[in-house]
Amino acid sequence: MISFPNAKINLGLNVVQKREDGFHDLETVFIPININDALEIIPSKDSTSLQFTYSGLNIIGNTNENLCVRAYYLLQQDFKLPPIQMHLHKNIPMGAGLGGGSADGAFTLKILNSLFNLELTNTDLESYALKLGSDCPFFIQNKPCFATSRGEVMQPIEIDLKGYEIVLVNPNIHISTAKAFSNITPGIPKKSILEIVQQPINTWKNELKNDFEKSLSNNYAVIEHIKNLLYHQGAIYASMTGTGSTVFAIFKNEEQKPKIELPKEYQVYFTKIII
């Protein structure tokens, strides 16, 4: 079975408070976008419980910690899963705020549920996904939503971005989530992101913020530089997504695609939201 885990962007991201369990309460709007990895899982005749291979972008770290692998063993605790072969083709940049790893883990849960008829509901899958990471439950629903708590409390919303073009620029900088949170000072926002995104899009520039942009600006000035370039090219709204380092911009139509000269190591994507 083959599936194509997609990336996401955050429209605004407020870190509200630190929790007693060490995590943070936040609020954000998750938007699925059409940039994808490819994930294939098939039953294996080999006696090994899991064979994991990958291609595409290099995956840093121990593959046993990959969320696809962890998702398999998480379900293995409650279900007698047969041996499988799993291959991940990695296209979504890592440590970029696009949620690629979280998507891979969540889609692994969904594939295993379908492939082996586990009969798990979306609510069940979201509970397993939260054990993998705070962003993972979103990719079970995979629809625009307003998210609170760790990100797992989700309220579906309507975001009318039909006809808009989304441009992403990744400066090839890997930012760890833990490092991003280490410089954050939590606080309750004056206006909820849910209220702001329901306003006309031309008001977002002055009101819709990502708390991590300010906290990371001293060490990663390139993020603000890219954002300013995109505004100079006519973006209606531009922001860093997640904990960085990718910056996205919303343009009115395809004819407004920016023509920016960027270093060769930067990755540029043109995409739309997934409706």
- Chain mean pLDDT for the chain: 92
The enclosing domain of 138 has a CATH number of 3.30.230.10
User: 152 and 169, same structural domain?
Assistant: no
Same domain, 11 and 118: yes
Whether residues 137 and 191 fall in one domain: no
Residue where a domain terminates, one of 132, 156, 180: 156
CB 152 within 8 A of CB 98: no
* Residue 264 in this model has a pLDDT that exceeds 90: no
Per-residue pLDDT, 217: 77
Q: Is 135 designated active site?
A: yes
The answer for 189, left when phi > 0, alpha when psi is -120 to 50, beta otherwise, is beta
Q: Choose one of 104, 129, 156: the last residue of a domain.
A: 156
Domain with 173, as residue range(s), is 165-271
Q: Is the pLDDT of residue 226 over 70?
A: yes
pLDDT number for residue 178:
80
Annotated active-site residue in 8, 110, 209, 227: 8
Specify the pTM.
Answer: 0.94
Q: Is 94 helix (H, G, I), strand (E, B) or coil?
A: coil
More reliable by pLDDT, 48 or 255? 48
Which range, 18-22, 56-60, 125-129, 258-262, has the best average confidence (pLDDT)?
Answer: 125-129
Inform me whether the pLDDT recorded for 64 exceeds 90.
no
What's the domain count of the chain?
2
Give me the catalytic one of 37, 104, 135, 211: 135
Peptide bond into 245 cis (omega under 30): yes
Do residue 266 and residue 134 come from a single domain? Answer: no
CATH of residue 223: 3.30.70.890
Beta bridge partners of 51: 85
Q: Do 116 and 193 reside in the same domain of the chain?
A: no
